[in-house]
Structure 1
Amino acid sequence: MQQRLILASGSPRRKELLSNLQLEFDVIVSEIEEIVDNTMTPEKIVMSLALQKAEDVARHHRDAFVIGSDTVVVFQNEVLGKPKNEEDSFRMLRMLSNQTHQVYTGVAILTGTSRVTFFERTDVTFWELSESEIAAYISSGEPKDKAGSYGIQELGSVLVKGINGDYFSVVGLPISRTIRELKKAGYII
């Protein structure tokens, strides 16, 4: 019998990444109010948030392998979450223009008997962006629900000059490492 795999995230990007591997899994979105301790380092923040999501779902599904994940963008020690509004989005994108920032994605994998958390950090460099380019991107609606106000895999790809690290981690789930950690935890692929 196939072990049950649950993605504790409503992110369509994370769902797509797992679907690309032709794995059978369910999506059960965590309903907890995320608690962020801003005194923590970015890597601890994303691992803590990923763990909170996974624990919330796993307590109702102890027989499953549950994956929680969270992503933040960091520039000059400022954690950039999802924008509050268009002005906030503009502020973030102007800040990231012609600069290198870091994207941290934390992952938690829970089973009935084990708990694994890890993170990946990727450096992303943006092109220099004009105010009209930023405004056009914001008007697309794409930045609304994304950490740092951009998505690397869609229209936001034209903002990115280069990356150093795991592309899929920037999308929202470091898929290669996640699969390796699932196997270590006993998941049979």
Structure 2
Amino acid sequence: MGGFAVILASRSPQRRAILEQLGIPFEVVVSTHDEGVLAGDPAATVELNALGKAREVLARVALEPGELVLGVDTVVVVDGRILGKAAGEEEARASLRLLAGRRHEVFSGLALCDGRREVVGHAGTGVRFRPLDEAAVARYVAAGEWRERAGAYAIQGVGSALVESVEGDYFNVVGLPVALLVETLAAFGVAPLSWAAPTP
């Protein structure tokens, strides 16, 4: 594929920032798809939500040649329980207490669509939190970074101090699995780094 661009079906500033860092041309069309949860199946949940987001935007926009709609969904899983975005401070505190001193999984589903075909996949990353006392939980919640974040934390911000180790794609935890994105773009004929602008 020659020139291409991504239509990001998400309002996430983290996903926008990752695409900007990669140098991938994109625009944002926020999806109105209602995210659901399949109990006990995080991989299927994020794949279905990612595809739902991409399809909803695809139905509203007229794609130009080379444009691809990108849908992404991320959840945190601990003890088989799916943690989405906390509804309020008490739920955020409960999520952080549950994650403290333990390992959890972050799953992201990714869907790319061009109006003719759809490619869907998911990535999983293991994250271990440091032990947290109530004071640390309270300070983090007061900082407000938990809002609009799966699992009520942001690994790329102040929340990095909560994390002891990461196994797998760090960017997946931020909200956009880069390795999976590059692989999925290749399925549409977009070669890795073909979007990178040469230095003059």
TMscore range, shorter length = over 0.9
Paired residue for 1:92, among 90, 95, 114?
95
Partner of 1:67: 70
SS at match of 1:143: coil
Q: Distance in 1 between matches of 2:147 and 2:114?
A: 33
Q: Deviations over 1:43-94 (max 9, x none)?
A: 0000000000000111223442011000000000110011111011101101
- 1:42 aligned onto 2:42: yes
Instruction: Work out the CA distance in 2 between the residues paired with 1:102 and 1:183.
Output: 26
Please tell me the residue identity of whatever aligns with 2:12: S
Unaligned runs of 5+ in 1: none
Corresponding position of 2:197 = none
Calculate the TM-score normalised by the size of structure 1. Answer: 0.94
1:22 shift after superposition? 1.3
**Normalized against structure 2, the TM-score is what?**
0.89
Match of 2:166 in 1: 163
| CA RMSD between the two structures | 1.4
Partner of 2:148: 145
What count of residue pairs does the alignment treat as equivalent? 188
More helix by share: 1
Structure 2's unaligned 5+ residue stretches are 195-200
Q: CA deviation at 1:185?
A: 1.1
How far apart are residue 184 of structure 1 and its match? 1.7
- Give the conservation status (yes or no) of the 8 Å contact 1:114–1:185: no
Counterpart check, 1:172 vs 2:175: yes
* Map of 1:28 onto structure 2: 29
Q: Deviations over 1:18-42 (max 9, x none)?
A: 11111211111002223x2433610
Partner of 2:52: 52
Query: Does residue 1:127 correspond to 2:127, yes or no?
Result: no
Q: 1:105 aligns with which of 108, 133, 136?
A: 108
Stretch of structure 1 that moved more, 42-51 or 21-30: 21-30
Q: Which portions of structure 1, spanning 4 or more consecutive aligned residues, are displaced by more than 3 angstroms?
A: none
SS in 2 for 1:149: coil
Cα distance in 2 for partners of 1:180, 1:61 equals 25
The secondary structure found in structure 1 opposite 2:62 is coil
**Shift of residue 120, structure 1, vs aligned partner:** 0.5
